Amino acid sequence: MLSELKRRKLKVAVITDYFPTSVQPWAGHSAYQTLLRLAKQCDVEVFYPESVYPKVFTPRSRTYHSLDRTYEPPGLVTHYLPFWAMPVISRPLNGWLAARAVRKQVEAFAPDVILSYIVYPDGYAAVRVARRLHIPAVLTAIGSDLNRISGSLVKRMTRYALRRATAVVTVSRDLLVTARRLGARVERSEAILNGCDTQKFRPRDRLSARKTLDVPLNQQIVLYVGRLDLRKGLIELIEAMAALRQRRPKVHCYIVGEGADRTLLNDCVARCEMESHITFVPSCSTERVATWIAAADLLTLPSYKEGCPNVILESLCSGRPVVATNVGGIPELMDEASGRLVAPKKVDQLTRALDEVLSEHWNADALADKHHRNWQDVSDDLYAVLEKATGITDRS
């Protein structure tokens, strides 16, 4: 078996719904970028278990039966495989349902190893299918899957998946501690920090980027890129911007992204009378995000919890300083030489940090030189884990 594997590419089946779709082509960015590069070394196919709700029970935040299952992100063979579920009610069963949805197709692919992103339900499904096929399973935890476990039954399933996995990878050392506390074996778990596309995210001329975006050239731009989720600290950001406006009349915050909390955020903007200083921008392509970062004076991420947020790396590789909360894996990505770290939910600290960073001169090239980890680095590290999991140590 091992000698045969040494003569051919490793076959990797990826079970995850943390991945681009026809509706959200920007979703699962870190997984997609890593797998795109892994596919140069391995035979990779992605199996996306899609939970489908009955129309009457579909939340407004979801689009009923909206995925185009013929959609295929460039460079990767992808199978979108539906299973029926119910909001909240079926969550403890979703791991089993996802496993049942993908099992036949994964078995037909005949992989050497199964890789998953998100521990539950995807990692749980990966472990179940891998045990049936008598092959190893490697689970990747991204942050919210371990930091926000919903309910005791889901926690039991998460623990089961972590204990039974051949190997567990986390996107930060902080998250690795959590994974091990929940059951991941010390000798079979490690942290692999995210990277970014250093060809797209690099120092660029700020004024040219602003002209491309058609935004005022004389603004002091504070940028947020991510989900419109209150747990990202966006209420605190709006309140901090209101305080900052008193001494910086040209400051303007652009919030790039979409999410279920948009209405609440609009209300907060109105309450703070910040309509002329805060602009919401729809989610956009990676290339467009790179232009927004180039146009900004700084990027901010005042989240309550995080794993290893790509957008911080993207900003630093672009030579733009960051103001973020000292939670999760963020302190592993940056320090005071790259911006400012503040406590979560502290508007006064956030206001002061934004003001300080806007007051300083930042050397874009020096910031970018210090932060240059790319997706090929991530792929290489993951490939080593997959090889170890399959018992392969020498492949020509």
E strands along the chain, which residues?
11-15, 43-52, 77-84, 113-117, 137-141, 167-170, 189-191, 220-225, 251-256, 278-281, 298-301, 322-325, 339-342
**Cα angle for residues 247, 264, 24 (degrees, 5° grid):** 105
Query: Per-residue pLDDT tens for 121-144?
Result: 999 999 999 999 999 999 999 988
**What residue segments make up the domains of the chain, in order of their start?**
2-195+375-389, 206-370
234-245 vs 347-359: helix crossing angle, rounded to 10:
60
CATH 3.30.420.40 is the classification of domain 206-370 = no
Alpha carbon 40 to its chain centroid, in Å, reads 22
CB-CB neighbours of 352 under 10 Å: 17
Average pLDDT over residues 317-341: 95
Banded model confidence at residue 83, pLDDT cuts 50, 70, 90? confident
Banded model confidence at residue 57, pLDDT cuts 50, 70, 90? low
Q: Do 206-370 and 2-195+375-389 have the same topology in CATH?
A: yes
Query: Per-residue pLDDT tens for 256-278?
Result: 999 999 999 999 999 999 999 99
CA distance 222 to 295: 10
Exposed/middle/buried for residue 304 (C-beta within 10 Å: 0-12, 13-18, 19+): middle
For the domain 2-195+375-389, what is the CATH superfamily, name and number? Glycogen Phosphorylase B; (3.40.50.2000)
Alpha carbon 28 to its chain centroid, in Å, reads 6
Average pLDDT over residues 283-288: 92
Model pTM score = 0.85
